[in-house]
Amino acid sequence: MHRRLIVAFIVVALVTAVAFQCVVNLLLPLFPRLNDLLILPPGILSFLYKRNLPHHGGPHATPFLVLVLCLAVLLLLAVITALAFAASRPVLQPVRRLARAARRMSDGDLSVRIQPRGRDELAQLVTSFNEMASALEDKVSDLEQMEARARQFAGDVSHELRTPLTAMTAVVGILHEHPGLTGDAAAAARLVGQEVKHLNRLVEDLIEISRFDAGTVQLVTDETDVAKAVSQCLRARGWSSVSTDVTAGLTARLDRRRFDVILANLVGNALRHGGPPVTVKARIQSGGQCSGQLAVEVRDHGHGLPPTAIPHIFDRFYKADTARARSDGSGLGLAIAWENARLHGGHIHAGNHPDGGAVFLVSLPLNAPAG
């Protein structure tokens, strides 16, 4: 921008000089006396004339007049450039300050302000920028407070629901085993039991999410036999149909409970929404940016994930199938799995296998950071 302003200044100056010369050429025939005001001093004309006379009748010597004119033009350009540079600085400095402040705002610093100088249009622009930054900072602060209150409310409600749910779970267990319940009454007891179980899981997941939001979650890492951890996770939930392929002797320093949560949520999601068979593979990842990490792959052989759902698959309460009003899960399982992987210093990638079915790849460091 600086160069363009200088070039524009020079062009304007040259156009002005040409226009001035044209006006002079038009006015001289009408006003001859103007010639006395515009000609060079006699001494200079005589000096230039003598320097350009031929020597001893030979050809023309050095074209001194042309040289002087070129030097004069260069001097004029230098003066115009200096004036343009000096004139552009007051214009460009506020623009540069605005650009720096905008970059700081884009980096998250909403407290940035610029001291206005003068009363011109640029000063008004700086004032408008400060007003916009203040309004944006207030809005973001209000949104953060609302989000914090919403998270606190969800956590408080989840904890308050625990006590009545415990009593309801005990009562439903008694009803389910009562020999006198038959027919519709037995079916109703089973339905209530399923819904209470679903509500219990939702409350537990909400409490877990509230811990992540509050930043109170810590890892308790230990040397973990990956094959044993995978086997225990599947056996504890009765998922005997899930096949495994884990490298023998593979160990990693992980939080065993949270690794179990990651695996259980991914396998449970594959069993509910994918197609059989569901497979779990674990190995040391080699090559690429994740080289030297633990890679756990959970794959099903269903229809796969819709391409539009993949970017949002780990969002809370997101449903890839919008026609499904509710599911057996809480809608938080994949979000909790993602949070636990992030807590380990890893991540989860969701996609579709070339041969069909959805595939989730968990990449975790072999030595997770201590909480």
pLDDT tier, 256 (very low <50, low <70, confident <90, very high otherwise) = very high
**44: pLDDT strictly greater than 80:** no
Determine the distance from the C-alpha atom of residue 19 to the mean position of all C-alpha atoms in its chain, rounded to a whole number. Answer: 54
- Angle, nearest 10°, between helix axes 42-51 and 64-106? 110
Cα(78)–Cα(316) distance, integer angstroms: 65
pTM of model > 0.75:
no
Task: Name the residue ranges covered by the structural domains of the chain.
Answer: 2-109, 145-214, 222-365
Summarize pLDDT for 269-319 with one digit per residue, the tens: 999 888 889 999 999 887 555 557 899 999 999 988 999 888 989 988 777
* Average pLDDT over the chain, rounded to an integer: 78
Task: Report pLDDT for 288.
Answer: 56
* CATH class of the 222-365 domain in this structure: alpha beta
Percent of the chain with pLDDT over 90: 21
pLDDT at 338: 93
Could you tell me the two tokens for 335? 């979000």
Query: β-strands 279-285, 243-246: how paired?
Result: parallel
Q: What is the DSSP string of 105-118?
A: HHTT-TT------S
Q: What is the DSSP-derived secondary structure letter of residue 271?
A: H
For residue 213, pLDDT over 80 is answered with: no
- Residue 357: per-residue pLDDT: 92
pLDDT at 317: 79
How many residues are recorded in the chain? 371
268 or 122, which is more confident? 268
Q: What token pair was written down for 105?
A: 């705002």
pLDDT digits (tens, 9 = 90+) for 237-254: 999 999 999 988 899 999
At 29 the pLDDT is: 67
Which residues does residue 106 pair with via DSSP β-bridges, in sequence order?
none
Give the separation between CA 18 and CA 81, rounded to whole angstroms.
17
CB 299 within 8 A of CB 361: no
Q: What is the predicted pLDDT for the residue at 24?
A: 60
Q: What is the pLDDT of residues 176-211, one digit of tens each?
A: 777 777 777 778 888 888 888 878 888 887 788 887
pLDDT of residue 197: 80
Lowest mean pLDDT among 173-177, 333-337, 358-362: 173-177
CA-CA distance, 361 to 281, in Å (whole number)?
9
List, for residues 46-83, the tens digit of each pLDDT value.
554 455 545 444 444 455 555 666 776 677 677 777 76
pLDDT of residue 362: 94
Tell me how far CA of residue 309 lies from CA of 168, 318, 338, in angstroms. 36, 9, 16
Query: Domain 145-214 maps to which CATH number in 1.10.8, 1.20.120, 1.10.287, 2.60.40?
Result: 1.10.287
Of 26-40, 70-84, 153-167, 337-351, the poorest mean pLDDT is in 26-40
Q: Which residue has the higher pLDDT, 267 or 181?
A: 267
Q: Give pLDDT, residue 323.
A: 47
Task: Return d(Cα 328, Cα 330) in angstroms, integer.
Answer: 7
